[in-house]
Amino acid sequence: MKLSLILATLLLTPAVTLAMTAEERGLEIAKEVDTRDTGFHDFKASMTMLLKNRHGEESLRDMRNQTLEVENDGDKTLVVFDEPRDVKGTALLSFSHKVGDDDQWLYLPALKRVKRIASRNKSGPFMGSEFAYEDISSQEVEKYTYKFIEESEHEGTASLLLERYPVDPNSGYTRQQMWVDKERYIPIKIDYYDRKNVLLKTLVFRGYQQYLDQYWRADEMYMENHQTGKSTLLTWKQYDFRSGLTDADFNKNSLKRAR
């Protein structure tokens, strides 16, 4: 009985996964997603967040993003805020790391003050939006453990469904379910489960475009909070890859100059 079950499984399972556990397969997919997005060097882009509460009231955030790829570590990112007007010129410099807390400095233009801030808080709302810092920071393979669930069809796209579990105990999530496009190895949807393992948010990636014939970026990331009825639509514009950014564009002086 047992033998026949194993035989049946062996016959029905695709060859690739034959020798792999679900964990190994999950990690393999995550690594492939990462590998295909490696080597872009740097990019500049502008971001708009449209925040909506359950009554439909809207609020806008405008910011600009510069990212530098760092070999063997997380990316360096500089975000400058343009809107709302009271935080115009405020800038956030982040050195993300594969393991441990990120390094973050906040520049407050009214006082000309650069403040090193505690970065352990990854789960709090970013600028009052439905995105937590950990949702939009550099997605390193090492930040999660993985488990492959199944191959599935997601809105007409052949996809791989995996679960990932944050390594950081300060994460706001117990697990995330991620649908990855099987052809292009890019995320198309993520379900976030809160610390009580209840579905909290869903992120949908829309309007993928390819840059430098390799790197896929979604024009829109739509985050919906199922528990509060709030949502945030993050729109990316004016992508400029390999714009010539270097390490020197990511220090305390450049943070003060950023505007």
Partner 1 sequence: MRLWRWMVCLIPSLLSAGEWSGYAELQGRYFPQDAAYENQSDHLISLAFQPEYYQRWDNGNQSLLVVPFFRWDSEDEERTHGDIRELIWTYAGNRWEAQAGVGKVFWGVTEALHLVDTINQTDLVENPDGEQKLGQPLIKLSLERDWGIVDFYTLIGFRERSFPAEEGRLRSHPPVDQDHAEYESDREERHLDFALRWSHYIGDWDIGLAHFNGTSRDPLLIPRISNRGEISLIPFYEQMRQTSLDLQATKGDWLWKLEAIHRSIDSGSYNAATGGFEYTLVGIADTDMDLGLLGEYLYDDRGDDATTPFQNDIFIGFRLTANDVDGSELLAGVIKDMDEDSWMFNLEASRRIGSDWKTSAQIRLWSDIAEQDPLYSLRRDDYAELTLTRFF
Give Cα separations from 110 to 84, 88, 91, 128 (angstroms).
15, 10, 12, 21
Question: Phi, psi (5° rounding) for residue 8?
Answer: -60, -45
Q: What's the min distance (Å) between Cβ of 204 and partner 1? A: 21
Other CB atoms within 10 Å distance of the CB of residue 84? 13
| Smallest gap from residue 175 Cβ to partner 1 (A) | 18
Minimum distance from residue 163 beta carbon to partner 1 (Å) = 24
**With binding defined as CB under 8 A, does residue 237 bind partner 1?**
no
Within a 10 A sphere around the Cβ of 202, how many other Cβ atoms? 17
Q: Residue 212: what residue type?
A: L
CA 249 to chain centroid: 22
CB of 118 to partner 1, least distance (A): 5
Positions 66 through 125 that interact with partner 1 (CB under 8 A): 83-88, 101, 103, 111-121, 123-125
Stretch that binds partner 1, among 52-60, 63-71, 211-219, 234-242 (CB under 8 A): 52-60
Q: Which residue among 51, 79, 200, 223 contacts partner 1 (CB under 8 A)?
A: 51
Size of the site for partner 1 (CB under 8 A): 36
- Comparison of 242 and 259: residue with beta carbon closer to partner 1: 259
CA distances from 182 to 30, 42, 157, 187 (A): 12, 26, 8, 9
**Shortest distance (Å) from residue 248 CB to partner 1:** 5
String of DSSP letters for 187-245: EEEEEEEETTS-EEEEEEEEEEEEETTTEEEEEEEEEEETTT--EEEEEEEEEEET---
Among 41, 73, 128, 140, which residue sits at the site for partner 1 (rule: CB under 8 A)? 128
98 C-beta neighbours (distance < 10 Å), count: 14
CA distance 47 to 30: 25
- Site for partner 1 contains 248 (CB under 8 A): yes
Instruction: Indicate whether 60 belongs to the interface with partner 1 (CB under 8 A).
Output: yes
| Minimum CB–partner distance for residue 232 and partner 1 (Å) | 10
Query: Per CB under 8 A, which of residues 162..221 are in contact with partner 1?
Result: 170, 172
State which residue, 113 or 184, has the beta carbon closest to partner 1: 113
Among 140, 127, 130, residue whose Cα is nearest residue 96: 140
Toward partner 1, which CB reaches closer, 51 or 186? 51
- Show Cβ contacts of residue 228 under 8 Å, excluding neighbours closer than 6 positions: 53, 54
Say how many residues make up the chain. 259
Residue 17 binds to partner 1 (criterion: CB under 8 A): no
225 binds partner 1 per the rule CB under 8 A: no
Residue 77 Cβ, how far from partner 1 at the closest point, in Å? Answer: 16
- What is the contact surface with partner 1 in residues (CB under 8 A)? 51, 53, 59-60, 83-88, 101, 103, 111-121, 123-125, 128, 170, 172, 248, 251-254, 257, 259
